Amino acid sequence: MTRRYDAVLFDLLSALVDSWSLWNDVAGGEHAGRAWREEYLRLTYDAGAYRSYEAIVAAAARASAVPDDAAQELVDRWGELQPWPEAPEVLATLRRRGVPLGVVTNCSDRLGRRAAEAVGVDFEVVATAERAGWYKPNPEPYQLALRELDVPADRTLFVSGSGRDVPGARDVGMDAVWHNRVELARPDGVADLPTVATLDPLVEYVFGETDLQG
């Protein structure tokens, strides 16, 4: 089989890190945490040019009726973020097989780098919305990562944690896979998107040893 991709870029807070559990715990339960997180996702994906990530998290908290101090508590507890269980080994295997890795995240630079460190793997690129000056799905964060990775877009796979990341990745020329760990609803326009419930199939997919279903 022929190797499909020469590099892999990841969404960070959903594709690699279980940020949902922390959001839920800070909010006081899964229902409140998911409502807060989904409002935060809506605000970041609609934001366009970068403005304070922490301010967006706080605005989403207010709109979701979680406790007033939830946004600050989330930032204070950011160090508790943990990767999905299989993520460190899957990424370490890709690195051992010579695949450069990076992340593209709608985060401030400070929080994005801390979350990337939680994965326990060295990334060639950590492209945050703050560094790019724009939030995904605008092209700038993806383009920043591709420039710094120095691999053509058509040879780079993007692993999304939210289906709403995908149009931006595709617009700059990358193929995408959706790691839909928490069973989010499929957005319009991505019916053909290959989808996985865990990261386990990723190595074989990158190296052309298996196919994925949409």
pLDDT in tens, 14-40: 999 999 999 999 999 999 999 999 899
Mean pLDDT of 76-84: 97
Mean pLDDT of 196-212: 95
Is the predicted pLDDT of residue 46 greater than 80, yes or no?
yes
Residues 107 and 185 in one domain: yes
Does the pTM surpass 0.85? The reply is yes
Out of 28, 58, 79, a domain closes at 79
Residues 162 and 63 in one domain: no
Is 1 a member of any domain?
no
- What's the structural domain count of the chain? 2
Report the share of the chain in percent with pLDDT over 70: 99
Is 46 a member of any domain?
yes
User: In CATH, what number is assigned to the domain containing residue 100?
Assistant: 3.40.50.1000
Mean pLDDT of 105-116: 97
Confidence of residue 190 (pLDDT cuts 50, 70, 90): confident
pLDDT of residue 180: 93
Residues 26 and 97 in one domain: no
DSSP calls for 88-155: HHHHHHHHHTT--EEEEESS-HHHHHHHHHHHTS--SEEEEHHHHTB-TTSHHHHHHHHHHHT--GGG
How far apart CA 128 and CA 104 sit, in angstroms, is 6
Domain that holds residue 140: 7-18+81-206
pLDDT of residue 14: 93
How far apart CA 41 and CA 101 sit, in angstroms, is 24
Is 2 a member of any domain?
no
**Residue 49, token pair as written in the block:** 């040019």
